[in-house]
Structures are given as structure tokens and as C-alpha cells.
Structure 1
Amino acid sequence: MTYKDVQSCAAYIKERFDGDIPSIAMVLGSGLNSLADAVKNATVFSFLDLPGFPKPTVEGHAGRMLIGTLEGKPVICMQGRAHAYEGNSPEKLAFSTRVLWALGVEILVLTNAAGSLMKDAGPGSLMAITDHINFSGINPLVGVNDDRFGPRFPDVTNAWDKELTSTFEKCADKLGFPLHKGTYLMAMGPNFETPAEIQAFRVMGANAVGMSTVPECLTARHVGMRVCGVSSITNYAAGMTGDELTHHETMEFGAIAAVNLEKLLRAFVEQIAA
């Protein structure tokens, strides 16, 4: 998708939204639909109607953009996302994030459902993402670089904004529930990982594993957006308990984690939004 395609989609949204575009956007992962319901006075765009947008096909990903308020603060909420395992090209995975940038978004909050590699972070808990490992074999920045988006070789030493992550921690402390911190590893999927892979990921330094989020982070950093994120822990990773992993479990425990995640994101937006 070209720079012109991105600007065209952004123009489509601006023409149909009455007001200033928020500077903060959130991407919601599996099981987090209740959070979208909390957005007030929302103008809703279906991904089906947004030119060039990838169309989510996974249960729990509604495929909608909501522009409204959370705790009285302006915010864009992306209800669902596209995944590489759905057959989307790396370039396609970058599109929605680039559109957010073209709209004027400065801070991107990424959430996902993830399997825990930490025994003290069980299903239903939350983990602030402090770094990531891209084990997916894909990168949204592959191909001819358009300097209008960003440099050919972007630095991602500080991909996950430390100041914003610290705000998450302070909000969790005030709310009175634990917020784990760790490195998120992205695998391609769609199968869950094998016990041997999880053992290898643990050696590599991963604390949670999932099938999304990294392409959005890389795309956002390429265009200069600040990025932070939280994983909803939906299960222990393969081999840690001996139980079979299912998407139903992801949805079930994602809904449990969403209760605290909604509280956390409300408090976070209230702290940093203009």
C-alpha cells in the first residue's frame, strides 16, 4: 500500500468525523471487546468500509475503528486487528498503523492476548511490554522504503516507551493490582507453540508469546509514534501445565483479564490525554 493509499484512507475518515482527531489510539486484542463498549460518543467505522484496510477474520476481532472518549479524554479505539497468519502481507499489516499516523496519532497503545512463560503470571493477569523478540519471520518495513514514512534503517533500541510504561505501572499501583513486566515474543502462528519452542523462547529471554503486535510496533516507530503495550495473559504456554491450548481459553481468560485492563487503560488515558 502506497503513501497515497494511506493518505486517501485518512482523508476518508477525516471527512466523516466531526471534530479533532485524538492523538492517542489503542489496538485491542482477543477478548477485549468490552473495552470498546466503554468508548463514549463514538463515531464508528467498519474496517470493511475503510479503503485499503485489512479485514480481520478471527473470532473476537470485530474489525471496527471507534473515535470517541474514554474517561472524558479523546481516543481512537481499534477493535480488532489483522494478523500475518490470516494471509496478510507484511505491507498490509503496516497499513492501519500508518493511517493512524496520517490522522495525527502520536501515541499508540497496543494490547494482545498472550501465553505466559512466567510461573507467577498466570491466566487473567496483565504484563506491560518492555521489549520484544520478532520470531515471526516477517517485518512490515520490508520492501522499497518511502522516506515520507521514515528512514530505511530505523533504530528500535527504545521501541517500547519507558515513560509511558512507567505510567502504566503507576496506574496499576494506584488501582491495587499487579502489573508484570517483560519481553513479548511474536511467533507467526496460527498454531500454538510446541513445548520445545517455548523452552527455546524462555532461553532467548521471552516472558510472553503471541501472534501479533510486533508489526504494529515496528510500523509505529518507523513513522515516529510513541509505543507502549500490555499483554492479557490468557494461558500458560505449551508444556508448562500439560493442558491442551485452545482459542476458547484465550477468549475466556482474555475476558477475565479485560476487567483489569479496562480499568488500567481508563486510568492511563486520563493521565496522558490532553
Structure 2
Amino acid sequence: MSADNTIVYQGEPGANSQIACSEVYPDMQARACATFEEAFAAIADGDARLGMIPIENSLAGRVADIHHLLPDSGLYIIGEHFLRIRFALMAPKGATLETVKSVQSHVMALGQCRKTLQALGLFSEVAADTAGSARQVAERGDITHAALAAPAAAEMYGLDILRTDMEDADHNTTRFLIMAAEPDDATPEEEPVITSFVFRVRNVPAALYKAMGGFATNGVNMTKLESYQVSGSFNATQFYADIEGHPDRRNVRLALEELQFFCSELKILGIYPANKYRAEIAGP
């Protein structure tokens, strides 16, 4: 498998991340990694050219691990992809909805199907990933134990699908970041463009309020802002943000300059074309 033609993802064959890889890069070889750390390392070390990394879901929220890995990974965001997520409840041959008592899957998948699982009276067990859960359930062969995974995983691991469309809402969508070892920034002419960055504000009163003011006064739309603790401290807060627009545009440049004045750290993670899905959900 050529490294230059390889895209990595976290999980096992049959995972939604693999489906995302095949949708965006059908001619590349998708390689499974056990952890996000392993996937990031493969890109950084040159063992893979790209990575398909989930960052947030419309039902379950953010993939927390990614926010901690991104700033120190040395990698760059070169694109994004939105994947409509569909989950199926699958179990070994002979199992029925009446025999199944428990279900295992990745914590994000369980969160996306929480209400449905509660309605079925199933006990949830957190596992490393979705497709891996399907494989483990097949190996276990217990008709009281099921997996929650993409429908393709059932055929791959010889399981029966007991119920489709397990997700709690039909808008269930995961946003993926496409990562690379080198930047491939979009140009201002490629707008609409998303600029992603992380920052820490200086420890002064109202620093965050003042830092955000520059985006309002310069007419820059911030589509995402999330905070999370770093370094085991309740005082050290880092923020991840997405904004619309290219830093070479005057209004974006001015907003970032004002932000930086109130920051102890600011790092651009990527400047990349906005996925068409954004315009679709925005409506007319």
C-alpha cells in the first residue's frame, strides 16, 4: 500500500469514517487505525498522505479527543466533509429484538441513538468503535448481545440487521476534517472558505468578550466556538473556532489582529473551502 495513496481513519473496516474516506477519495486506499493518536502519527510520519477525522456530530456534539490532539499534532486541516450517519442494530444469526438485552458501540454512536435504545429497553456498553463492535459481537455469537454500527458492517461480519435507522433524528450528520502533514490553504478566490484556529486568551478581565468583539465589528461570521480545559488546570482554557472567510480578506485580517491582541496563543489550523453541505442546510 503506497503511503502517498493512503488515507487513514480511526476504527475498523466498515466504520462510518471509512465510508467518508470512500465518498471523498474513492481512488485512495483507506487504512484503519486503532486510535486517533495512531492515525495522526501515520500522517505526521509520512506513512499516509491524508486522514479522515470526525470532529462533531449534529446529535452527540463534539468528539472531545480531537480538540486535544489537533493543536499539538503538527498537522493541517485541508478540507471538510459532512456524512449523513445511519445506524443499524445488528446481532448474530438467530437473534431477535426480543432476545437482545444489551448493545455495544462507540460512545458517540450510543449518544446518537440514545432515545431509541431507551425505548427498546437495551443496556448500552461503550466500546472502542462501531465496526469493531460488530466484529466482536459476531465473534461472541451471543443472541442477547448486539452492536450498533453502519449497515455495511452487518454484511461484512455476518450479522443480521434487527432494525435500521436507529439514530434519534433524520438530520444525524457527522462533520469530518481532512488532515495532512503540509498545509494546502485555499485562496481568497475559492471562497466560501473556512478558517479554523485555536487560541487562549490572556488572563485579564473580560478578555474573551473583548477578543470576540473584533469579529462582530468587522462582520465576520463565527460558525463554531468551543472551550476545553488544558494541562489539567481549571484556569487554563483553550478555544477552538471556525470562521467564514479568508485571512487575506481585510475584515478577517482585522478581526484576527484584534483577537491576537487579547491572546497568549493563537494558531491557525487550516484555511480550506467550505463544504457545499453548509449552503444546503443554510437554505435560501
Query: Where on the TM-score scale, by shorter chain, does this alignment land: which range?
Result: under 0.3
Larger Rg: 2
Of structures 1 and 2, the one scoring higher in RCO (CA 8 A, sep 6+) is: 1
- Please state which structure has a larger fraction of its residues in strand: 2
TM-score normalised to the size of structure 1?
0.27
